[in-house]
Structure formats: structure tokens, C-alpha cells
Amino acid sequence: MDSLAIAARDPVAALAERGRRGPLGIAFSSSVPLEVLDAFGLEAAWLPVLPADSTPRADGLMQSFTCTYTRAAADFALAASLPVGLVAHASGCDAQTALQGILLGSLPMASLKLPIAVAGPSATRQARGALREMIAAAAALLGRDPDTAVLSEACALRGKVRARVTEAFGEVAAGRMPAVRAYETALAAQVLAPAAFLDAAAAPAPGPATSPEGRVRVLLSGAHVPSVRAIEGIESAGAAVVLDDTETGTRGASRRVRADAPDILDAIADSLVDGMVHGPVRVLPGRGRIDRLIENASDAGVGAAVLLHHRCCDPHAFEAPALTDALREAEIPSVLIEIDRDSSLSARDLARVQALVESIA
Amino acid sequence: MSRAVGLDIGSSATKAVLVEDGRPVRAVVLASMPDMHDAAVRAVAEVGGDGAPVLTTGYGRLLYEPRCGDVSEITALAAGIEAVLPGTATVIDIGGQDSKAVRVRAGRVADFAMNDRCAAGTGRFLEAMSRVLNVPLPEFDSVLASSPAAVPLSSTCTVFAETEVVGLLSRKTPVGSVLAGLFASVAGRVAGLARQVGPAAPIAATGGTMRCRSMVAALSAALGAPLVVPPDPQVVTALGAAILCERRSRA
Amino acid sequence: MGSSRPIETTKRLPRLIRNQVIWSRIAKRIGRPVAWCTSGGPVELLLASGIVPFYPENHAAICSARGIAQGLAEKAEEDRFSHDLCSYFRIDYGSFTTGRTPLGGVLAPDLVLVSNNICGTVQNWFRVAADHFDVPFLFLDTPFSEEPCTENDVAYARDQLVHIARESARIAGRTFDEKRLVPWVERARDTVETWKEVMKTASAKPAPFTSFDAFVHMAPIVSMRGTRRALAYYRRLLAELRGRAKAGIAAVPNERARAVWDNIAIWPAHRELKKTFRDAGVALVADTYTGAWGGVRLDPTDPLTGLARAYCDVLLNHGVKRRTQELTGLVREYSADGFILHSNRSCKRYSLGQYAVRNTLSEATGVPGVIVEADMADPRSVSIDSIRQRLTPFFEMIGAHS
Ligand code: SF4
Ligand code: SF4
């Protein structure tokens, strides 16, 4: 295993390693621009779903109807073993909003009030104002301002990280990279320092690209991919993931910051509104998201879809029936898997994927 | 003569069926616990399948070696029901851990739905209630026959239902009425699942729970449609695996 | 200690609501557009343009109180909506897709108006409805925050209000006129103030009015805010309650203890719970749910900015910190001996964080609290027996007993 695979499979160890270099800046959402945390001199990372087979600290603070991501995030943030300098959080689903209050008393926390209606009137202005408010709150907590020279450098570096992740999924679609490797890349990008990630990702991928030949080509849609093992599970049931629609994968990496903008903060704020592919948490006009997904799925020659949701994740659960229907109309059968407090697929979930594959093969 | 074994390693029972030239000759049902692997080995031996290819299915389908392959229990169920009740369009199975509804077209899966993690609407729910009521599962039918009026139970969550049942009994509600309420609750849940796939007639019902006539009646009432139960409802999935196995080894 | 004959004004409530329903139907028939609106939506903008509002949340609560919630929710689950989604949504979905409703027919919308100031559920729920009826979707995005909202947030909300006002007026075939807003805003403010006074009567000992009453009497403040009839109703109710307070007429005979409630009522068990409290001599003197309406403050001199601020400022648009403050205030103001947090599995916005609230609140007030697990509307997630199991020891702790 190379360093990407190692970091992807043991994100806590990767974060611990970063923590030895300095206080961590932890983002709870792909909508928190990590470059800003970098500019504060924090070891910035976007928290992946952590193995949360037991989350005692969070269990004392959250009911059973909390998604695994939120539970794991709270538990991680409350664990005393790592030096957390700042927790940053962005507006989103009701679980994310709750995290704010739950952690407020125990951790330095800054929140980014991005618009939910990304195409609405004044969304961009709200984002610009909110980003400055978040920076001010973080500066007050940390007792220092972000370094502007570092900010533009970090902005470029983080842009390269996201471009590399996007590229990896492009290679998967073209059959040049196994899906597992692309998810390793994406998960590693969340926790590694940008320079270290780019070094590791520049090396050729270890092992041959297994072709999806003979397996059913699937679209994977959902929020946070809980682990590389989840992908391995899906593929062990006879599927080959060729198209991604997850926060962990292509959505989280989709943000593009305009390089020629006169004001870098404005450019970053704008990228969070109309410079990225949004998931179901944000309000977009009409059925834009689903239509685009179906189009991509047809282009990629997808034969089936796996909806990998976290239990009690409202935004994705609301979308599921319409998405399933649209897929069915496009003759793409799908199966919905709900992850709850574990990071790989249960035997019965595997049976569902397998049944889907068998019904096509 | 071609022989093949279908082995369904479930969470509570392990089932094996031996087929010869497409016809079932023997079926065995064993408790899976405490050692699933051991139960699987014994089931194959007892069904007389030594030397025949084995296709596995069910929760523990990857536990058994040597096997000629494995299929999901959904695919196996569709193949099995086509063998025992040809022309079935929908099959509903209430198993120990989960329940499922499968739309079948010529023995193949057209669509399916499975319950979520919650135990409501599964055999596990009935087992839990059997403990609370202190009535063993096989006696359900006779207890019910004595007091037919059901009391409606609102809770479907096992924990809540347990308190509700205890509350009802403490208020001297007849056990039979509570039981009828429980059946109605499970049936309602499973019927909802079936509606997800748009159940078309003829509808078959399988799984160990279907040996209980009251369960079949409750489910039929909840669906508002007649149900056909094959003679040995518990082994249909294993039979399907056996048939698929024979087909595969012939190919 | 006075007798506990029922509150007189209550008798007028069914007719008030029925008339409202009938009036809505007539209005729809004579060509007035109907808007489905969230409970935290800027309804004044609709009213000023002659649009008839209808409240699906309210409707779902009625379905639940009338005992038809389960079948409707199951319809949503059959259509593959997760059982873990808000039951108000599932019930309403079941109703508008099947036409089953206790109100004698679905009042189809010509537009929907949503604000996410109460939760993230409604933006999805109303989108599903807008798609089903193929009508426009108007959205007021109010940035959630633990801290008070900032000028940036208010300006953002105001921009959207302008857009909503124009769009809804256009749909109604009118042009938006800010001046027409003023009387509606004024009456809404007066109604809210009167409602606050109504709730305050419960601070008398013994309390002449409890949250169980408030849960029922809040219907007009949600669905008829800004109308003359609602204002008249609350004035009458207030007069009666003040009289009862003076005469010492208790809502709970032999009031032995007082408690505060957090979260939405538990409709499927409303009656049983009311009786459980009564039997134990516990008066539920205040709650954060019906009080949420008491918090809205509108400013008629600058209606749109005032509305923007008010709608950003609703309780559920702020988190744990604000709720703890609010509850602390209620415990003190109403001299409560304890508090009950309804952990409502339907409402994540309202419920996640309650464990943290309990700890801080107990510390801040020095009174005990209990969490009960239930659901506001889905009877399958409500067990009156298990609620009683939690309440009994709690009642004993605060000096009451059953
Ligand atoms: S979007 Fe879904 S998975 Fe992500 S934090 Fe929110 S509820 Fe959890
Ligand atoms: S989630 Fe809560 S606030 Fe939102 S509609 Fe449901 S009950 Fe109301």
C-alpha cells in the first residue's frame, strides 16, 4: 500500500500525524474552504466518516436518529487525544446545524452561513458576507488573522488537489483506474496535507487497472462514502463503480475558484455558490440535479445504480424516490443501501447489491 | 442423472434442498446457531448431497466451501417460487432477520424491496413478542383460535411494542387478542413493503413464519388479496438455489 | 380552589377553524390563488396580495389528532420515502397523493411558499408538493445560526422577501404594494402580542391554562395570523383566562407541581397525556413550541426589513444556546419545578442537541428534567406506556404523584 491507500484506510492515524505538526483545523463539510484554514496556519482537513462502531462521547449527546457522519464527527471532535485548534462548519442539513450547538461549549467553532438557495437572489452576496464573518469568528478564537500570502498559495494548491481527485474519477470512467483507487485518492485528499497528497498522487497508481469488463457498470450516489471497504464490498457483489455522485468523490472535488478575480475571498465565496456541483442539501431550481445525473449515467453506459445513504440523512432520503423513478425511466434499476453506524456494507446490504447485479446479468 | 444442492444459510435456520433432474428429492432444516458453518456442513450431509455441486445463498452464503457459487437470497427465492408455483408474479417472504417482496418474471427478479434495519415486520419481531407473551411460536395458531378479536397495536418498534404489550396484558387484555394485534402489525408492515414493488397477482408467501396460518390470514387481509402458500414455505429459497445450481453445472 | 369547568372560548375554536376552511374553499372557487405555506413562512406577503394560505403542517397535525395518520404515512413509505423522514411530511404526502383528508378535500395549491427557518425538511417536502401539483416554488432562505442573526443575514432575507412579494403578486395578478402590507403586519403583531398575553396567564398559581390547551389554541396563530377573526378570538380568550386567573380557577385541579415542555406536542397521545398530567396534579405551564409564535416581532414602520428580521429570528432558526436560554427563562418566569424534553424523532432540527440542553438547563435552573422519546404525529413511534414509565419517576421527583 502506498501513502494514499494508507491514509484513506486509516484516516485517524493520518490526522494524528498531522496533529503532531500543529493544531488541526477540522472542517465538517465539503463547503468549508480548506484554504482558509490553511491560511490560519492550521493543519487543515475535511473530516471523513470515521469508523464509528462505538462512539461513546457522541452517544451521550445525540439521539439514535442522527446520521453516522454527524455522530462520528462529534465523537472525533470531542476526543481529547488530538489537538483541535478550530472546528469549521457550514450551513447544510439539520444534523450539521445541530452539531454547532452541541459542540459549541466544548470546542472553538466557527460556522459558515452559506446560502441554501444557491440560485436565489443575492446568494453570492450572502456567501461573501458569510465567509468574512466566519473568518472574523475564527480570528477571534485563534487570536490571529489569516496570512494573505499563504491564502493565495493555499488556494492554488487546494485547487490542484481537487483537480487531481476529479481526474482520478475521469480515469475510472475511461477504464484506466479501478474505482477503489479513485476513492482512496479522494479519501486521502480529505486528510493529508495538500503538498504531501500531491506528491503521493503524482506517482503512478500501484497495480494494474482492473477493467470493469464483465461486471455491471454502476453509478454510486450518496453523501459521504463511509470507507474504501464499502466500495470493495459493492464491487465484490459483481458491480463495477464507473460513475460517482458523492460528496466524498466528485461533488466535493468539483469546486473551481476563478483565478483572475480581483478579490480572493470573493472568488472563494463565489466558488461555494456557483462554482461547484451541489448535492441535495442545497436548493437548486427545478430538477436540475436529477436530470444532470441521468444524463451522465446514460453517457457513462451505466447499467445500474447504488444509492449509498446514511440512515436518517434527510436530504438524500427526500431525493431517493424521485431519483429512483428517473433512473427506472432511463432503464437503470437501482438499490438503496442505508449505512448506520458502520463503515462497510452488512451481509444483507451485499445481498441487495448482488440481487441487483443478478437481475441484470 | 444430474444432482445439485441448494444451501440457504440463514440467520436462524439453515436449509438444504437436493434436486435430481430438476425435481426436489429431499429438504432439511437445521438451526443455524451456535455454529453456522457446522450447521451448513451437516445440512448438506443430511440432505444426501455429498459429491453434488452446492450453490449457497442466505446470510452465511460465503461460509461454506466447496461451493460452485453463491447467489443472493432474492434471486434464489424468485427461482424457487417459479419451480413450486409457476407463474407467480409476486412473492413475499418473511424471514428471521428480514422480510422481502420480489416481483418475479419467468423465475427472474424484476424488482424487489427489503425491510430496513428495524425488526418490525420480520420473524425476529414475532420471536421477541413470543418471549414477552410466553407463548411459543408453534402455539400461536391455537391461542388465536380461542379469542379472535384483535386489539390494535400502534407501535411497530420492538422496544415500544414490548411496553405496549406488557401494558395491555397488565390491563387484562386476552393474550389471543394481543397476538392478533401483533400479527396485524407485522402484516401491515410487510404489506407496505410489498406495495413498494406494486404487487401483481398471483401473490405467493414464503418463509418459516408462513407455516403459521394466522400469519398468512393477517397478511392476506392487509394486502386485500389472496395468497398462495407453497407446501414447504421455509425451503423455497434453498430450492431455488438448487435449481440455479443444476442449471449452472449443466451450462 | 375553583372547579375546573372547561374554558368557554374553546367552544368557538372548531367553528373558527371550520369557517376558515370553508372560506378558503370559496376563495379558491372564485379564483383566488391558494398558497401552501410553512408555519414560519412570510404569510403577510401572501395576504397582502389576496392569496389564501394553507398550512400543510397544521393539516398533518389534524390528521394525526383524528387518528388517520398511520395509513397516510404508510402511503409515503410505500412510495419509498424513508420512515425516518418527518412524519408531518409523510402524512401530508399520503394525503395529497390519495385525496384522503379530514377537511373534506385537498385544497390544491397554486404556489408554495417555504422558509427553512424551522427546519431543512420543509424545503424538500414543499418541493415534492410543488412538483406534484406543478406549481411555482418560492423560498425564503434564512441562515441558521447559534448567534443572533447579522445584518448580512437580514439583508439577504430582505432581498428574497422582495422577490417573493413580487412573484406572489404576479401570480395573483396584482402588483406588490408595500403599503398594503402594513395593516396585515400590524394585525399580525397585535395577534402575536395578545397570544403572548394569553400564554402569560399560565404564570398564575394555580395556572388557568396549560400547554395542553395552548397546543390546541395555537391553530389560529399559525394559520390565521393577521386576520381580524384571529385577533378577536385571542382577545376573548385572554379576557376569559384573566378572569379565571383572578378567580383562582385551575386548569389542573389540585395543582401540585409545574413543568415546562420542549418540542412539539405528541398528537397521537394528546388526550392520554393531558389526563396523565391532570391525574398527577402537574400543570404544564409553558413550552417552547407555542411560545415560538410569541417570539415573532414585526415592525410596521419598515415592514420588509422588520419581516426579514422576524423570520430570521424564529426560535428554531437558532440552536441549542438560544433554546437553553429560552427554556431557562420559562422555568423561572413560570416558576416551574421541572422540565420535559420531548425527543421527537420526526423533527431533527428541534430534537438533536436536547441531551446537551438537558445538562445545561438543569445546571442553570437547578430543577430536574426528563427526556421522553416519541414522535409528534406517527402513532407507530409513540408508546404512551413508555412515556408514562419516564414521567412517573419524574413526577415523583418534582413533588407530584399519581
Ligand atoms: S448530509 Fe446527510 S450524511 Fe451528511 S451530515 Fe447531513 S444528514 Fe449526515
Ligand atoms: S422537521 Fe420539524 S419543523 Fe420541520 S416540518 Fe417536520 S416537525 Fe416541522
Q: What is the pLDDT of residues A112-170, one digit of tens each?
A: 999 999 988 899 999 999 999 999 999 999 999 999 999 999 999 999 999 999 999 99
Compute the residue count for chain A: 361
Q: Whole-angstrom Cα distance, residue C149 to residue C312?
A: 7
| Within-domain flag for A71 | no
Mean pLDDT calculated for residue range B146-162: 75
Contact predicate B103/B197, CB 8 Å: yes
What's the structural domain count of chain C?
1
CA of A236 to the centre of ligand 1 (A): 26
Mean pLDDT calculated for residue range B201-215: 92
| Within-domain flag for A306 | yes
- Pair (B65, B139) in one structural domain: no
- A317 vs C85, C155, C351: nearest CB: C85
Nearest CA to ligand 2 atom 7: C347
Task: Please list every residue in chain B whose beta carbon sits closer than 8 Å to the beta carbon of residue A338.
Answer: 116-117
- Pair (B217, B168) in one structural domain: yes
Question: Is pLDDT above 70 for C147?
Answer: yes
| Within-domain flag for C257 | no
Mean pLDDT calculated for residue range A319-348: 91
| Within-domain flag for C166 | yes
Question: Is pLDDT above 60 for A65?
Answer: yes
- Pair (B224, B114) in one structural domain: yes
Residue in A148, A136, A162, A134 with CA at minimum distance from that of residue A41: A148
List the grid coordinates of B93. Answer: 417472504
Task: Determine which of B54-58, B96-100, C336-340 has the lowest per-residue pLDDT on average.
Answer: B96-100
Task: Determine which of A199-208, A275-284, B207-216, B221-230 has the lowest per-residue pLDDT on average.
Answer: A199-208
- Say what percent of chain A tops pLDDT 70: 97
List the grid coordinates of C139. Answer: 423560498
CATH value at residue A291? 3.40.50.11900
- Nearest atom in ligand 1 to A279's CA: 1
- Pair (B129, B249) in one structural domain: no
> What value does the mean pLDDT of chain C take?
92
Q: Is the CB of A96 under 6 A from ligand 1?
A: yes
Question: Is pLDDT above 90 for A50?
Answer: no
Mean pLDDT calculated for residue range A330-342: 91
Task: Please list every residue in chain C whose beta carbon sits closer than 8 Å to the beta carbon of residue B160.
Answer: 381-383, 386
At residue C261, what is the residue type? W
Q: What is the residue range of A342's domain?
A: 213-360
What's the structural domain count of chain A?
1
What is the DSSP annotation of A269-338?
HHHHHHSS---TTSB-STTHHHHHHHHHHHHTT--EEEEEEETT-HHHHHHHHHHHHHHHHTT--EEEEE
B248–A contact, CB cutoff 8 A: no
| Within-domain flag for C139 | yes
- Pair (B20, B140) in one structural domain: no
Residue in C288, C300, C346, C308 with CA at minimum distance from that of residue C115: C308
- Pair (B36, B70) in one structural domain: yes
- C379 vs B154, B167, B192: nearest CB: B154
Q: What is the residue range of B76's domain?
A: 1-85+233-251
Q: Whole-angstrom Cα distance, residue B205 to residue B228?
A: 6
| Within-domain flag for A305 | yes
Question: Is pLDDT above 60 for C296?
Answer: no
Task: Please list every residue in chain C whose beta carbon sits closer than 8 Å to the beta carbon of residue B157.
Answer: 380-381, 383
| Within-domain flag for C290 | no
Instruction: Provide the shortest C-alpha distance from residue A257 to chain C (in Å).
Output: 23
Q: What is the pLDDT of residue C1?
A: 43
Q: Is the CB of C85 under 6 A from ligand 2?
A: no
| Within-domain flag for C175 | yes
CA of C147 to the centre of ligand 1 (A): 22
| Within-domain flag for C148 | yes
What's the structural domain count of chain B?
2
pTM: 0.92
CB A359 to CB B97 under 8 A?
no
Mean pLDDT calculated for residue range C241-262: 95
Q: What is the pLDDT of residue C178?
A: 87
Q: Whole-angstrom Cα distance, residue A11 to residue A188?
A: 8
> What value does the mean pLDDT of chain B take?
89
Q: What is the pLDDT of residue C298?
A: 63
C118-135 tens-digit pLDDT: 999 999 999 999 999 999
CA of A27 to the centre of ligand 1 (A): 14
Q: Which segments of A152-224 are extended strands (E)?
A: 216-222
- pLDDT level of residue B141 (50, 70, 90 thresholds): confident
CA of A173 to the centre of ligand 1 (A): 26
CB C383 to CB B118 under 8 A?
no
> What value does the mean pLDDT of chain A take?
92
- Pair (B183, B105) in one structural domain: yes
- Pair (B104, B213) in one structural domain: yes
Task: Determine which of A173-187, A232-246, B229-243, C380-394 has the lowest per-residue pLDDT on average.
Answer: C380-394
C368-388 tens-digit pLDDT: 999 999 999 999 999 888 899
- A355 vs B97, B112, B116: nearest CB: B112
Contact predicate B88/B202, CB 8 Å: yes
Question: Is pLDDT above 70 for A212?
Answer: no
B146–C contact, CB cutoff 8 A: no
- pLDDT level of residue B148 (50, 70, 90 thresholds): low
CA of A219 to the centre of ligand 1 (A): 20
Residues 6+ apart with CB under 8 A from C45: C113, C161, C164, C165, C168, C176, C181, C307
Instruction: Provide the shortest C-alpha distance from residue A91 to chain C (in Å).
Output: 7
Question: Is pLDDT above 80 for A21?
Answer: yes
A262-289 tens-digit pLDDT: 999 999 999 999 999 999 999 987 778 9
Question: Is pLDDT above 50 for B37?
Answer: yes
Instruction: Provide the shortest C-alpha distance from residue B149 to chain A (in Å).
Output: 35
Q: Whole-angstrom Cα distance, residue B72 to residue B109?
A: 11
- Pair (B60, B76) in one structural domain: yes
| Within-domain flag for A277 | yes
| Within-domain flag for C380 | no
Angle (deg, nearest 10), helices A148-173 and A264-274: 30
| Within-domain flag for C242 | no
Task: Please list every residue in chain C whose beta carbon sits closer than 8 Å to the beta carbon of residue B164.
Answer: 383, 385-386
| Within-domain flag for A246 | yes
CATH value at residue C72? 3.40.50.11890
Q: Is the CB of A223 under 6 A from ligand 1?
A: yes
CA dist C75 to B98, B189, B196, C95, Å?
21, 11, 9, 9
Q: Which segments of C280-357 are extended strands (E)?
A: 282-287, 338-344
CB C77 to CB B192 under 8 A?
yes
Question: Is pLDDT above 90 for B88?
Answer: yes
Residue in C49, C179, C174, C177 with CA at minimum distance from that of residue C113: C49
Is B99 or C298 the better-scoring residue by pLDDT? B99
ipTM for this prediction: 0.95
| Within-domain flag for A281 | yes
CATH value at residue B142? 3.30.420.40
C80-98 tens-digit pLDDT: 999 999 999 999 999 999 9
Q: What is the pLDDT of residue C255?
A: 95
Q: Whole-angstrom Cα distance, residue A339 to residue A268?
A: 32
Our CA angle for C57, B196, B99, nearest 5°, is 115
Q: What is the residue range of C38's domain?
A: 27-180
